[in-house]
Amino acid sequence: MTPSKGAIALLSVGGAGATGAGIYVYEPFKSGETIRRLIDKQELFTLLEGSDSKWESAWTNYKAKNKDKKKGEDSWRLSNWVGDSTVLGNSFKEECSKRLSLRVRSSEDSSFLEFQNLCTRKTTVNDKLTKEGYEFLGMEDTNKTTWESNFQAYKQASTKDKVEGIEIASGEVHTTADHLTKFKTACQAAISKAIDEVSYANTKRWCSKLKNA
């Protein structure tokens, strides 16, 4: 029987074959969207790429999921898998890349949720700033005038316009170096947080500027 247009045998994200990473069981073709498309449509999670430090924690999650599994028994059948003592290698990163083309029914699909858990990290304020063409004001004195102006305005701002973790005491003044540095450091910490942990709009307002501005 010839498979209908809506059915295919997906043996591997990387191509047909019974060996290597990414083996999948035959199933009806999912007419939904690719994992990449679903990732691109939201902003809470960011793909792990390059030398991102979060690869290690993602790898720890994979090893925990496949604890006590021998070679060929781990869920993605990675080529370098020799047990849960395996060190992070390219095969795991490559498999994350291959799975971007996998079609899933929705963001609630188990395959998507697995990918999200293993191949992404929370989007930070800094990630979104960069995407929008903004950047952190910096710890150096290059933007001192802007920092001082923001310090004074922030001190007078209402609670709804402030950022959790950025506090200026009533006795602190922008002309005191330590007080200004404290404000900068708090901003630096805020932009490193996930966008669902702090107010993005407020952090952007007080701690960033347009690039090359």
Structure confidence by residue, pLDDT tens digits, 130-152: 999 999 999 999 999 999 999 99
Token pair of 99, please?
A: 């799975």
Amino acid identity for residue 196 in this structure:
D
Residue 70: the pLDDT is: 92
Whole-number Å distance between alpha carbons of 46 and 58: 13
Residue 2: the pLDDT is: 44
Residue 146: the pLDDT is: 98
Task: State the maximum Cα–Cα separation within the chain, in Å, rounded to a whole number.
Answer: 80
Residue 94: the pLDDT is: 97
Mean pLDDT across the chain:
88
Phi then psi for 27, rounded to 5 degrees? -155, 160
- For each successive 10 residues of the chain (213 residues), what is the average pLDDT? 40 41 43 93 96 95 94 94 87 97 95 97 98 97 96 98 97 98 98 98 98 86
Q: Which residue, among 115, 103, 101, has the nearest Cα to 29 in the 3D structure?
A: 103
Residue 86: the pLDDT is: 83
Token pair of 201, please?
A: 């709009």
Residue 1: the pLDDT is: 44
Specify which residues 121 forms β-bridges with.
46
Residue 22: the pLDDT is: 46
pTM higher than 0.85, yes or no? no
Q: Which residue, among 141, 164, 142, 162, has the nearest Cα to 153 in the 3D structure?
A: 162
Where helices occur in 66-199 by DSSP H, the ranges are 90-98, 110-119, 125-131, 144-156, 177-191
Residue 28: the pLDDT is: 42
3-state class (DSSP) for residue 129: helix
Q: Which residue, among 89, 81, 96, has the nearest Cα to 14 in the 3D structure?
A: 96
